[in-house]
Amino acid sequence: MIAKPLSDTIEYFCRENLDLYDGADCQTLATQVAAYRHLRLLPQPKNQTNNSPNILVQLCEDNYTAWLLDPDQNNLEIATQPYLAPIWSETQIQAAIPQIIQFTQLAMATPNYYLWGGTVGPNYDCSGLMQAAFAAVGIWIPRDAYQQEAFTKPMAFNREKLDFSCLLPGDLIFFGTVEKATHVGLYLGDQQYIHSSGIQHGRNGIKIDVLSPEGDVCTQYYFKHLRGAGRIISSYQTAS
């Protein structure tokens, strides 16, 4: 067990999968952290009004910030080597796409349901599934759908003509409002994409859908909210 209090000058890694939360009260899941991921402590926000013992942390692989429950400090170890972001070329990434797609299909074949904040399986949210699939081959992408959209190389399809010929399997498909991407799926080809969608508008888990104005309520809902697509051409490089 590491000594407390933890230091904000030391990098740590997780000994097991951990949950992180979106506030100091640690009530709402923000993301999950797979074992052996690295993190560092951040200073407590100056506007922090309560005396919560929970800790604000930043994940090293994607710079994502969230809150760690105080007891979960016991599941951290000091990293003997700092995290070093991998370098991937676009060609190397394209060669890994079949494995990335296979990851999502195996996840779909495993009993699952939609979990807001889920990234370690078997239960994922939309962007958590995307991040986990790429991370499974060693490629890091940002955590949330809108961050993933900003990270990709935009691909301009013709929605009105249902012309998606510019897309390749492994491209990310984004849905949401005019202002922001709120949902993401992985393109499989032939207008099909795989995604983890929720109960309200989706399928409460991982399924394959089609980019079409026709079909069931779920298919039509997501096509109505289709906003763009992008290609992963590099692995995320974290700020030092």
Output the domain CATH number for residue 136.
Answer: 3.90.1720.10
**Domain count of the chain?**
2
Which tokens is 148 given? 């993933």
In this structure, the number of other CB atoms found within 10 A of the CB of residue 22 comes to 16
CA 145 from centroid of its chain's CA atoms: 7
Helices 90-109 + 126-135 axis angle, to 10: 120
Q: Is residue 236 part of a domain?
A: no
Q: Is residue 4 part of a domain?
A: no
* Cβ-contact 187, 171 below 8 angstroms: yes
Helix (H) or strand (E) holding 78: strand 76-78
18's CB contacts (< 8 A; 6+ apart) are 32, 33, 68, 72, 75
CA distances from residue 121 to 22, 101, 130 in whole angstroms, order as listed: 19, 15, 12
Q: Is residue 201 part of a domain?
A: yes
Domain match, 61 and 120 both: no
Q: What was the pLDDT predicted at 52?
A: 85
Domain match, 74 and 94 both: no
* Cβ-contact 183, 114 below 8 angstroms: no
- Domain finish residue from 58, 78, 98: 78
Output the domain CATH number for residue 18.
Answer: 2.30.30.40
Q: Is it the case that residue 240 has pLDDT exceeding 60?
A: no
Which tokens is 57 given? 């942390």
Domain match, 113 and 41 both: no
Q: What was the pLDDT predicted at 228?
A: 98
| DSSP, residue by residue, 161-227 | TTB-TT--TT-EEEEE-SS-EEEEEEEEETTEEEEEE-TTTS-SEEEEEE--SSSSHHHHHHHHTEE
Q: What percentage of the chain has pLDDT greater than the value 90?
A: 91
Domain match, 170 and 119 both: yes
Q: How confident is the model at residue 1 (pLDDT cuts 50, 70, 90)?
A: low
Which tokens is 233 given? 């051409």
The C-alpha torsion from 147 through 152 and 155 to 156, rounded to 10°, is 40
Domain match, 39 and 110 both: no
Question: pLDDT tens digit string along 6-38?
Answer: 888 899 999 999 999 999 999 999 999 999 999
Domain match, 131 and 222 both: yes
Question: pLDDT tens digit string along 45-55?
Answer: 877 666 789 99
Domain match, 24 and 127 both: no
Q: Is residue 3 part of a domain?
A: no
Q: Is residue 1 part of a domain?
A: no
Q: Is residue 36 part of a domain?
A: yes
Domain match, 94 and 205 both: yes
Q: Is it the case that residue 132 has pLDDT exceeding 60?
A: yes
Domain match, 97 and 129 both: yes
Q: Is residue 84 part of a domain?
A: no
Q: Is residue 181 part of a domain?
A: yes
Domain of residue 72, residue span: 11-78
